[in-house]
Chains A and B, each alone.
Chain A
Amino acid sequence: MTQPYRVTQPFRLPRGGQIDRGRILRFSFDGRAYEGHPGDTLASALLANGVRLVARSFKYHRPRGIFTAGPEEPSALVQLETGGFTEPNRRATDIALYDGLRAASQHAWPRLENDLGALIGGVAPLFPAGFYYKTFIRPRGLWRYLWEPALRHMAGLGQAPASRDPSRYDQRHTHCDVLVIGAGPAGLPAALAAGRSGARVILADSDPLFGGALLRGAYRIGEEDGTAWAAEAVTELAAMPEVRLLPATTVLGRYDDNYFVAAERVGDLLGPAAPAGLPRLRLWHIRARQIVLAAGALERPLVFPGNDRPGVMLASAVESYIRHYAVLPGRRAVVFADNDDAYRTAATLTETGAEIAAIVDPRDKPGLATQQIVRAIPLYTGCMVVGTGGHKALRRVTIRPIAGNGSDTIIDCDLLAVSGGWNPTLHLYAQAQGRTRFDEGIAAFVPDGEVAGVEVIGAARGSFALSQCLADGAAAGARAASCGFASAEISEPPIVPDEEIGPNRLSLLPLPQGGRHAFVDLHNDVTAADIALAAREGFIASEHVKRYTTLGMGTDQGKTGNVAGLALLATMTGRDIGETAPTTFRPPYVPVAFGLLAGRARGRLAEPVRVTPMHEWHIAAGAVFEDVGQWKRARYYPRPEEDMMAAVRRECLAARDGVALLDASTLGKIEVAGPDAGRFLDRIYINRWQNLGVGHCRYGVMCREDGMVFDDGVGARLAPDRFFLTTTTGNAAAVFDWLEEWLQTEWPELDVFCTSVTEEWANATLVGWAARDVLALLAPGLALDSAAFPHMTMREADIGGIPARIFRVSFSGELSYEINVPADQGLELWERLIAVGEPFGITPYGTEAMHVMRAEKGYIIIGQETDGSVTPVDVGFGALVARDKDCLGRRSLARSDTVRLDRKQLVGLLPDNPGEVLPEGAQLVAVLGEVPLVMPGPHPGMIGHVTSSYFGARIGRGFALAMVQNGRTRHGERVWAPLPDRTIAARICPPVFYDPEGARRDG
């Protein structure tokens, strides 16, 4: 059976365009198959196939089509691809067509052509701008049960991906002398001039094809047409070794000192089938000495009722589709414009064989330049379009004289080309702190003043003539390049025919029905009536109107709608548009994928992983790890069939009743050396160091100047001018920075230097009554009895050839030796300890058991019992504060707030039910039952919170440490921890639960 004859691409023009007609690309939209060519965008290919309806609007679900031909598109947002690769809210005008592309419409149910959401359009008067603010007010209950769920369901446009993004994203950093942004009639000459001087140049344009406005107009430059001239310029630039060309690259934002971030589409241009090694997108970080901003201008529409119907399109977009993509957007067109420039669109359409049914111009007399064009075309001056007809595609327009002295005319058409003038694209300039002013001549905001390092040229500064762009570009490029190079020659610009650019104006057309269906912001469905409503309700600052109406808050950032909205606001509030400042332009210029900003730093590569020398052993032993900062620490070592509780219980009992081994290598370690070392440490810590004997250890606490505990750790004196400090694992870097800051900025006269040695030493901590026996086997020459090697001293030893420093320090409360060896011998030491300890039942234990045992002894952990608001006195270290010397934070301990009697103090808690374990962080109350809240502030019944809570294996019950107001005076009192499902009763007690005299430790 033969295939039925099917005309593909009925709106493709037979000649012209920058597309490759030799190749066919197949793609689908909403499940229907179509064909296009390389060089198309999804938008141009859809138009070529006669597809007009592509989307439903954000709020009212109105049928929408393709409005522009560039990244400023507010309506034609589609869902690109599916699965992990999918991207919502992609502008169809911004998607390079590739073979196999699949896209779908968004925000319509059950299908684009028949969207139930359109029913909302019928009740639109109930949903003006700002309506949902009012739902917060009255009636209250309705918000929770009706509005919130309904709005949540209706909100948004596309679908976020539900599975992992398989794409790769790269980042590159580079410098250049001249960054040229925009490769059009101003940017190309600038890049050429700068490049020819030998400067390092980067030329970026968001389109895959350089040429800018040259691609959509029939320009002649010298002997050739504009597109050929552009192609030659690109060829010359590509051959320059110091020039980098970045097509399909959008500059997203400008930061201090000409630092730019730009997104380059790489694999994105080829879709999911791109070669595996290609990044989907590449993020460029560019530091430029000078920039030439040639970003052009964006056409602005006119505001009139029905201006959002599919088939209404910007005049320059019509030209772009015809000349750049060889696509006819419609067969019978009306042109509605208030400037001479747009009349060219009528001429372009006529050349293609399309019919121009009318030109409608709100001005009474169009400019002289238009007379050539309009000879054969019906011209309606002093008129405006007051309505468009045809539900899902334009079928007719209604025209009415503005002065109100005539009747309406209805004209059949399928394309309405609209133009209200041009807005220079100044986002990056504004981010460089450039100011703008409203230029009456072109009725647009233009740069005002100079910004160092930034030059704005071409249409971006309001120069719309081709000859001007070419000349400005060449001059600016040469100027920018001279920032370090011999003054570049300014070559003669090519000859360009004279052109007449008529003045522009910002038309504010009278709006029937108060502007109800006259859309200002197509993306967010903001109408002129909404702006009027905002003005009536007292919102007159542009920043307020923006947020009240959501004008300019869509993914397009209001590129086509903002200026018209501002103009309307100005008129409605009786001001000049120059007085209403445009709202802030914030990066990024277009939406950016999170993956691009993350680059390669995802998953396993998101953060560096730090491991100890014994790491592989812990893995082989089946350890479960926890993250402590960037470190992986063994948390517990479960045997088969053991859960965490059982493993931790076993490990604690082994340490208390036998012998056990902890990897404590992650502790911060700092050597402080020099004649002034002791004096320096006395200023930093609350306790004394100068009087510490060589070979002795001491527990130290340091505070910040506000008196709050910062860090703690045991230090030792290695020599008269050398100390070895330890810090908590998490604060190692912070303490090291702290020491350096004080030495460099406040006490440079001290003769001290500090060295971080955290990673130089491995630490195997041997714990338990049998620790001595194990150590004796390993270091037979070392006297280990308490007289020769007392608690809180340090000895050096040789452990079978491994040089070791052994600190007799206990965090567990048992007899304990912290054996430090050079890091690269840490694993060897560990394995030897395990082997020698085996007959004694040596048991590796992890951080969980470590936490339980120290809590049984009442030892605090920085960041658990302390939180930056806790002084040494609060946690019971008042006696450690040396009375006869100043130190950081000492004065603050005498502030009225730190001597308050009702400060929270460290206590212990014993739940009434010994099997109960209080949740850490549980709030504690002194009074059970309803306590009326009389004033803002701390609840009168709330007196503290639980900081650490465990089940103690040796003591056989639940216990906790807590911070409680006046805690030290409350021993014996009862408190309660109210939880969502139950209330736990407990008694306050001293914060030590095991061996308070320290006999086990000192044995």
Chain B
Amino acid sequence: MLLIPCPWCGPRNEAEFHYGGEAHIARPPHPDALDDPAWADYLFMRSNPKGPFAERWVHSAGCRRWFHVVRDTATHRILAVYKIGDPPPGITNLRGAGA
């Protein structure tokens, strides 16, 4: 039961939120220009690092806003929280699309 610090509402129980997977996966601006493997990469491929990981959460039972979290996938410690549109913080070992 993580304690997640919503940027608007403060620390709330994990059960109030919905998980949104890896962060910073931008929708390709010209999907027709991508071949099948590249489109599949956007659709299906996600990073799965052991360590700091930038991900999305939405506060479904609260303010209903989306935001970013950097969480260590091995210890579940939350290392950073930042709003949509803000750049990911400089955290060593951060892997995936947010790195």
Within 8 A of A (CB), among B4-42: 13-14, 18, 20, 26-27, 31-32, 34, 36, 39-40
CB of B3 within 8 A of CB of A741, answer no
- Interface centre among B1, B34, B58, B64, by most A CB within 10 Å? B1
CA of A886 to CA of B29, assembled, Å: 10
CB of A891 within 8 A of CB of B32, answer yes
CB distance from B24 to the nearest CB of A (A): 10
Spot the interface stretch: A401-409, A641-649, A744-752, A842-850: A744-752
Is residue B82 within 8 Å, beta carbon to beta carbon, of the partner chain? no
CA of A775 to CA of B89, assembled, Å: 62
Is residue A571 within 8 Å, beta carbon to beta carbon, of the partner chain? no
CB of A745 within 8 A of CB of B2, answer no
Residues in chain B near residue A748, CB distance under 8 A: 84-85
CB distance from B14 to the nearest CB of A (A): 7
CB distance from B63 to the nearest CB of A (A): 11
Chain A residue nearest to B68 in the complex (CB): A745
CA of A615 to CA of B26, assembled, Å: 45
Is residue A1002 within 8 Å, beta carbon to beta carbon, of the partner chain? no
Residues in chain A near residue B13, CB distance under 8 A: 259, 287
Question: What 1/0 flags go to A414-438 for Cβ under 8 Å of B?
Answer: 0000000000000000000100000
Is residue B95 within 8 Å, beta carbon to beta carbon, of the partner chain? no
Among candidates A256, A287, A737, A890, residue contacting B60 with C-beta atoms closer than 8 Å: A737
CB of A740 within 8 A of CB of B64, answer yes
Within 8 A of B (CB), among A277-294: 287
CB of A745 within 8 A of CB of B56, answer yes
Within 8 A of A (CB), among B53-81: 56, 58, 60, 64-66, 75-76
CA of A744 to CA of B76, assembled, Å: 25
Is residue A18 within 8 Å, beta carbon to beta carbon, of the partner chain? no
Is residue B43 within 8 Å, beta carbon to beta carbon, of the partner chain? yes
CB of A256 within 8 A of CB of B3, answer yes
Residues in chain B near residue A741, CB distance under 8 A: 20, 58, 66
Residues in chain B near residue A744, CB distance under 8 A: 65-66, 84
Chain B residue nearest to A259 in the complex (CB): B1
Among candidates A287, A746, A886, A891, residue contacting B39 with C-beta atoms closer than 8 Å: A891
CB of A433 within 8 A of CB of B65, answer no
Chain B residue nearest to A260 in the complex (CB): B1
CA of A333 to CA of B96, assembled, Å: 67
Is residue A82 within 8 Å, beta carbon to beta carbon, of the partner chain? no
CA of A737 to CA of B85, assembled, Å: 19
Among candidates B1, B34, B58, residue contacting A257 with C-beta atoms closer than 8 Å: B1
Within 8 A of B (CB), among A730-779: 737, 740-741, 744-746, 748
Residues in chain B near residue A255, CB distance under 8 A: 1
Given A890-B31, A892-B39, A892-B43, residue A745 in contact with residue B66 (CB < 8 A):
yes
CB of A745 within 8 A of CB of B84, answer yes
Is residue A706 within 8 Å, beta carbon to beta carbon, of the partner chain? yes
Residues in chain A near residue B32, CB distance under 8 A: 886, 891
CB distance from B61 to the nearest CB of A (A): 12
Residues in chain A near residue B84, CB distance under 8 A: 744-745, 748
Given A895-B36, A895-B39, residue A256 in contact with residue B76 (CB < 8 A):
yes
CA of A259 to CA of B2, assembled, Å: 8
Is residue A896 within 8 Å, beta carbon to beta carbon, of the partner chain? yes
Interface size on A, residues (CB 8 A): 21
CA of A256 to CA of B74, assembled, Å: 12
Residues in chain B near residue A433, CB distance under 8 A: 75
CA of A255 to CA of B56, assembled, Å: 21
Among candidates B3, B34, B65, residue contacting A287 with C-beta atoms closer than 8 Å: B3
Is residue A705 within 8 Å, beta carbon to beta carbon, of the partner chain? yes
Residues in chain B near residue A737, CB distance under 8 A: 18, 58, 60
Residues in chain A near residue B66, CB distance under 8 A: 740-741, 744-745
CB of A259 within 8 A of CB of B3, answer yes
Residues in chain A near residue B58, CB distance under 8 A: 737, 740-741
Residues in chain B near residue A896, CB distance under 8 A: 36
CA of A760 to CA of B72, assembled, Å: 43
Within 8 A of B (CB), among A945-995: none
CB distance from B90 to the nearest CB of A (A): 22
- Interface centre among B20, B34, B66, by most A CB within 10 Å? B66
Residues in chain A near residue B65, CB distance under 8 A: 744
CA of A257 to CA of B2, assembled, Å: 6
Residues in chain A near residue B60, CB distance under 8 A: 737
CB of A706 within 8 A of CB of B43, answer yes
Chain B residue nearest to A742 in the complex (CB): B27
CB distance from A347 to the nearest CB of B (A): 47
Given A744-B84, A886-B32, A896-B36, residue A257 in contact with residue B3 (CB < 8 A):
yes
Residues in chain A near residue B36, CB distance under 8 A: 895-896
Among candidates B18, B31, B64, residue contacting A891 with C-beta atoms closer than 8 Å: B31
CA of A725 to CA of B56, assembled, Å: 27
CB distance from B89 to the nearest CB of A (A): 18
Residues in chain A near residue B56, CB distance under 8 A: 745
Residues in chain B near residue A746, CB distance under 8 A: 26-27
Chain A residue nearest to B64 in the complex (CB): A740
CB distance from B98 to the nearest CB of A (A): 13
Chain B residue nearest to A747 in the complex (CB): B27
CA of A554 to CA of B85, assembled, Å: 52
Residues in chain A near residue B64, CB distance under 8 A: 740
CA of A741 to CA of B20, assembled, Å: 9
Within 8 A of B (CB), among A880-902: 886, 890-892, 895-896
CA of A890 to CA of B27, assembled, Å: 13
Residues in chain B near residue A890, CB distance under 8 A: 31
Chain B residue nearest to A897 in the complex (CB): B36
Residues in chain A near residue B18, CB distance under 8 A: 737
Chain A residue nearest to B78 in the complex (CB): A257
CA of A256 to CA of B20, assembled, Å: 19
Q: Enumerate 8 A-B pairs (CB-CB under 8 Å) in ascending A order.
A: A257-B1, A257-B3, A259-B3, A433-B75, A744-B65, A748-B84, A890-B31, A892-B39
Ranked nearest first, the 3 interchain pairs of A and B with the lowest CB-CB distance are A891-B31, A259-B1, A257-B3
A residues sitting closer than 8 Å to B (CB atoms) are: 255-257, 259, 287, 433, 705-706, 737, 740-741, 744-746, 748, 886, 890-892, 895-896
Q: A737-B18, A740-B58 are in contact. List 8 more A-B contacts (CB 8 A).
A: A256-B1, A256-B76, A259-B13, A287-B3, A705-B43, A745-B56, A746-B26, A748-B85
